[in-house]
Structure 1
Amino acid sequence: MKWQRGKPATFQKGRKKRMLKRLGWIWFIAMIALGFTMNGVAKASGDNSTVIDEKYGKPIVATGAALSASQKAEVEKELGVDDANNVEEITVTGDDLVHYIPDGNRNSNMYSSAKITRTDSGGIQVNIVTPENITEVTADMYKNALLTAGIKNAEVEVASPLKVTGHSALVGIYKAYDNSDKSGDKLNSDRTEVASQELSVATDLAKKEGLSNDQVTQLLTEIKQEIANQHPATKEDIEKIVDDKLKDLNINLSDSDRQLLYDLFDQMRKLNINFGSVKSELSSLSDKLSDKINKAAGDKDFWQSVKDFFQNIFDAIRGLFQ
């Protein structure tokens, strides 16, 4: 019998056969894995081109006129614009600002920008992709104002390369709808004006001591819900709804701030805005805000209890040395 390295040749042949068989399986599995990978790559590369909704057209990107070329490129990147051919671009100027917000400053620098994708359903979804640079207007404030303006279904993304309040993004959204070729997309100018006023009132109230952005937005949302439920016929009816909601939510405002709310919602009453058509959106927004406020209050109470616990320990130790 022939031997190799102290082992029979038959043993070596069997070992070689087993190794070849094992390598065959490894090769087979590798080919399958490679096939899946290439398939995924092919699909991914195919997904790079945005599918354009032929009913609504391309998403609209409204950029502030004050942006430099590099800032505009930065904003478009934040808004997910990989190919300018897949979106419709418009520029928002100071003239647009005073058109939609009559008491605005025509010489204002417009930085905050927005991407608007119209949809058939799903309500209004707002995502601030640069939250560190939008200092006053929250996603829920935008949503509330857009509901007042008459927009029902849309995906909205907001971005800015600099720290700004965020008001010009709202102007860009309005202009995007008014520039649409579809007549049904045109917004009522009276509604956009009062919606812009609502946003200004919201950001002003949110600066008051003891009031958070969420509390202000919850207040405005629940007042709209009551308007939908009660159909107020007079300014006195509006004032009662506002006063009742302030009491329910335990919010204290000065007489001048109450008057801001009276005037704002009386304008909405005069415009006969049908908030009943967006009841589910208002209800969903109100529930979300309520949960956020309750969670924030719970977190605040927890950390206050921790602070009190250690303060009591320090006081007790201090007392031992007195």
Structure 2
Amino acid sequence: MSGKSICAIILVIIAVAIFVPFGSSDHVGGTSDVVVTYGETTYNNAEYKQIVNNYFNVNNAKESVITANDVNKISSDISQRTYNSNQIFSCAMVDVSGNNNIDIDVDTSKITTVTPSMYKSALDSAGITKGHVKITSPVSATGESALAGIMQSYEESTGTKIPDKVKDAANNEIYTQSEVAQNSNASADDIAKMMDTVKEEVAKENTTDAGKITNIVNNVASNNNIQISNNDINILVNSIQQTQSVKDQASQYQSQLSGYVNSGAAQSIFDRAIAFINSIINPTNKVGNTNTTNNSSNY
């Protein structure tokens, strides 16, 4: 390869890096690899929003907002708590590019209640097992409202709606885990691990029977030296019943998400740059050449 060709390739790499920054890729139907969802209090405060943007460190990501009304629609059926528009701080970033398992990064200096394990457990229940998720807040916040933002971000990224019943079950699980963690002798992560173990056992038995699930919860809690009240056992059982009842819909969404990630629609910027450079180095692979076996729509 000549020196001029090498220089040309280097210039192409620079141009792609400049003009197609991380998070700027838009796909058919208005989808985007990276979506940032802001709590409305944060979104309406320029200083708060900048703090969050600095933490996420992305450019030109698609933006979405979770309002107090959105949160109250969820919490009214779960915790009966209501929030004002000046109380919704938690923010989430979702990047679905790349075929990888889910990676959850929580800013523990600001998010006080919900842990990565708790988010992962709830997202698993919603069929979300791929992508990179980051959660933060400009001020201290529980992080409970962030799950709604995470799921909204996945919908924005993929253009595929998560069934309402699946979202309700996942949100219920976050609130349930938070409440039980506050009332028990165990850490939030221990409660999340217990929840995962119970869900696995319930799935094996393929049951929604309250009595059977109660026995499983009691056994798992006892085996892990976790002390929880009868009331907390009841809300755990109710949450797991709800999760179990929507597992088929969650599995369907999981398949759709995997299909999106694997299809090439969510290629990373590096992959797109390499594909573009390869089309220059190997002219036979250019778009429109009938001799190529590659799918040009992936470029």
TM-score normalised by L of structure 2: 0.69
The answer to whether the 8 Å contact 1:228/1:276 transfers is no
2:114 to 130, 137, 145: 137
| Other structure's SS at 1:156 match | strand
1:264 to 236, 239, 245: 239
1:228 to 203, 210, 220: 203
User: d(CA) in 1 for partners of 2:247 and 2:150?
Assistant: 23
Once structures 1 and 2 are overlaid, which stretch shifts more, 205-214 or 57-66?
A: 205-214
User: d(CA) in 2 for partners of 1:214 and 1:152?
Assistant: 18
Using a 3 Å threshold, how does the CA distance of structure 1 residues 162 and 90 change in structure 2: closer, same or farther? Answer: same
Where does residue 94 of structure 2 map in the other structure? 116
- Equivalent residue letter for 1:99: K
Shift, 1:175, TM fit: 2.2
CA RMSD of aligned residues (A): 2.9
Aligned residues with identical type, % of pairs: 25
User: d(CA) in 2 for partners of 1:203 and 1:42?
Assistant: 49
The answer to whether the 8 Å contact 1:123/1:154 transfers is yes
The answer to whether the 8 Å contact 1:149/1:192 transfers is yes
User: d(CA) in 2 for partners of 1:193 and 1:265?
Assistant: 12
| Other structure's SS at 1:204 match | helix
Question: Unaligned regions of 5+ residues in structure 2, if any?
Answer: 1-8, 255-299
Where does residue 168 of structure 1 map in the other structure? 145
Once structures 1 and 2 are overlaid, which stretch shifts more, 106-115 or 131-140?
A: 106-115
2:130 to 112, 134, 153: 153
1:213 to 184, 188, 200: 188
| Offset from partner CA, 1:46-105 (integer Å, 9 cap, x none) | 646226374752411111111210110110111012x3xx31011111121123443452
- Equivalent residue letter for 1:125: D
User: d(CA) in 1 for partners of 2:215 and 2:139?
Assistant: 41
Question: Unaligned regions of 5+ residues in structure 1, if any?
Answer: 1-38, 279-322
Where does residue 255 of structure 1 map in the other structure? 230
1:72-83 correspondence to structure 2 within 5 Å: 72-81=49-58, 83=59
2:65 to 66, 91, 107: 91
The answer to whether the 8 Å contact 1:228/1:274 transfers is no
Using a 3 Å threshold, how does the CA distance of structure 1 residues 276 and 150 change in structure 2: closer, same or farther? Answer: closer
